[in-house]
Chain A
């Protein structure tokens, strides 16, 4: 029996403690991510001949992918969805609420709670709530609202599908932007503002010359996190529109799902997944390098 030193025993102990978590993440996230690459080189399918005996087809899935208008459509829809909801919608409304809550307003906790509420709701319920909001006919909630401005009843999810899911995701994510940007605002030293006031700077000048530059690191962090999480959205859009009508809301996640489990083409679905994995890993590596994350 070999006697281990105290330190060696401790080091061994750390490895054992790490093991169960590593095993689970390896089996269900890391291995599948690599497995996606090898699956994307096969003609694997859920049904039919290829389901029993899939064979290696090289880069055929990828050459098909790059010639597939539905794939380009999905990439475009994803880009518009991310920019519309995360980069613009949530950010602008979240920043406005964070700035307003900086002021000495009353009922702060109440405003805060109301803005946070949408963020706490499960994806399926979000879809459920907004299907009622967008309901067509003159009794639909949104239709009744726009009727005040003289707008005729619309079939929102059919006429403006992409705009509709952007609005829903904006609604859901204001809270996250607000919380993160509030913590950024709170970190700006107050005496800079006082100095600017003494020098006679206007509100607009203070905002563009002090607040925005001082907030840049927080804004960058926000943009990264919200882009990555919006890129990974599935349930929210699936419950609202399942990618339709006519692929107009088919973001990448839904395109992968539809290709794999509706069209039963697992190999082709995996090829789309590889594109999505590569994009998010590039974003992740840029982030880790740029921010030099403290570990």
Chain B
């Protein structure tokens, strides 16, 4: 009797070890697959003789990174990306903060249709919008440039204003389109976070004589902070990585952002500076990776909205 019990116990430990080994093997193989493409970009960025191929560097250099900041276009791409995606993220947070709060608190008839509508809007594939969005942007662009021409007759000023406020080949257009694309998910996230804040808190503050602004500033904002963090991180990651909008709405070199600038530099097949581009790829990727590391714990919470961030 004792012997039987022991042998079955050994069986269990044997299968336990076998499946444990299987688990490690699975994880190691999948991890290798995931890491493989990164070796090249990380090594080449520090390799004085960087090429298209994975190779052990003969020396280590920081020249490629220095080049980015010395080279006018590299620095400009970085700054343009930061300004455009940064403004779009902030704008998204403001609008989604108000929108999410209203959606969470209201009991009006439009609550339900709007929430379902937002899920459907999230599902619209951006490539399907390229033609009509281009037309909308063209229309707004003509309107804005008409205003600018009325406002000043000075050509230099016109060009400057046009660069700032144009919808095609201008900062404002890119900022607003990125913001619009990120809003559905951001509103959904904010609404879920506001749902978790009891209405009583606001009412208690109001009873204690706090003004509307004080309630928002001292009660709502601190409690909703994780929501803003989640919404902001996802908006940033998605807009930062987006390739389609810059491809459609930028043409002049002064407005080029990282994805498009890198893509166009990479198309000049005969004169690709691999060191410069890999260093730039590292710089372009780092903020996204850092943001993703913070956003990861919110990821499962956004699923209820039906669509991943």
Contacts and interface: CB of A to CB of B under 8 A. Distances in A.
B124 A33 contact: yes
B98 interface: yes
A135 B284 CA distance: 22
A81 interface: no
Contact of A25 (B131, B134, B183): B183
A269 B248 CA distance: 14
Contact of B130 (A117, A224, A273): A273
B125 A280 contact: yes
Interface in A193-244: 203, 221, 224-226, 228-229, 231-232, 234-235, 238-239
Please report whether the interface of chain A is mostly helix, strand, loop or mixed according to DSSP. Answer: helix
A276 interface: yes
A279 B127 CA distance: 13
A22 B199 CA distance: 24
Contacts of A293: 116, 119, 304, 306
B38 A39 contact: no
Interface string A269-295: 110011011001101110110010111
B33 A281 contact: no
B4 interface: no
B242 interface: yes
A27 B180 contact: yes
24 contacts: A27-B180, A28-B129, A32-B129, A36-B129, A97-B27, A105-B23, A116-B292, A117-B38, A120-B293, A122-B258, A123-B241, A124-B258, A124-B260, A128-B266, A141-B36, A180-B300, A235-B243, A252-B125, A261-B130, A280-B128, A284-B120, A287-B306, A293-B116, A294-B304
B90 interface: no
A28 B35 contact: no
A28 B180 contact: yes
Please report whether the interface of chain B is mostly helix, strand, loop or mixed according to DSSP. Answer: helix
Nearest to A295: B115
A77 B106 CA distance: 45
B23 A283 contact: no
Given A93-B30, A111-B27, A176 B131 contact: no
Interface in A56-101: 93, 96-97, 99-101
B34 to A, nearest CB: 5
Given A15-B102, A115-B31, A128-B266, 17 more contacts: A27-B136, A28-B176, A93-B33, A101-B23, A116-B296, A123-B242, A124-B263, A125-B281, A129-B38, A141-B37, A180-B300, A224-B306, A232-B126, A273-B129, A276-B127, A281-B123, A283-B123
B24 to A, nearest CB: 6
Contacts of B27: 97, 100-101, 105, 111
Interface string B237-249: 1001111100110
A132 B243 contact: no
Contacts of A24: 95, 176, 179-180, 183
Contacts of A104: 20
Interface residues of A, number: 100
B185 to A, nearest CB: 11
Contact of A284 (B34, B119, B243, B303): B119
A141 B98 contact: no
B299 interface: yes
Interface string B292-309: 110010011001101110
Query: Which are the 6 A-B pairs with shortest beta-carbon distances?
Result: A235-B243, A253-B127, A232-B125, A120-B292, A32-B132, A122-B241
Given A124-B263, A180-B303, A228-B307, A281 B135 contact: no
B211 interface: no
B40 A133 contact: yes
Interface string A117-157: 11111111101111111010001110010000000000000
Contact of B96 (A21, A116, A226): A21
B229 interface: no
B123 A35 contact: no
Interface of A: 11, 13-15, 17-18, 20-22, 24-25, 27-33, 35-36, 39, 93, 96-97, 99-101, 103-105, 111, 113-125, 127-133, 135, 139-141, 144, 171, 174, 176, 179-180, 183, 203, 221, 224-226, 228-229, 231-232, 234-235, 238-239, 252-254, 256-257, 260-261, 266, 269-270, 273-274, 276-277, 280-281, 283-285, 287-288, 291, 293-295
Contact of A139 (B53, B120, B241): B53
B288 A120 contact: yes
B60 interface: no
Contacts of B52: 131-132, 135
Nearest to B115: A295
B241 A132 contact: no
B48 interface: no
B289 interface: yes
A294 B108 CA distance: 17
A269 B121 contact: no
Given A273-B128, A288-B119, A39 B135 contact: yes
A83 B214 CA distance: 52
B288 A225 contact: no
B300 A36 contact: no
Contact of A276 (B55, B128, B237): B128
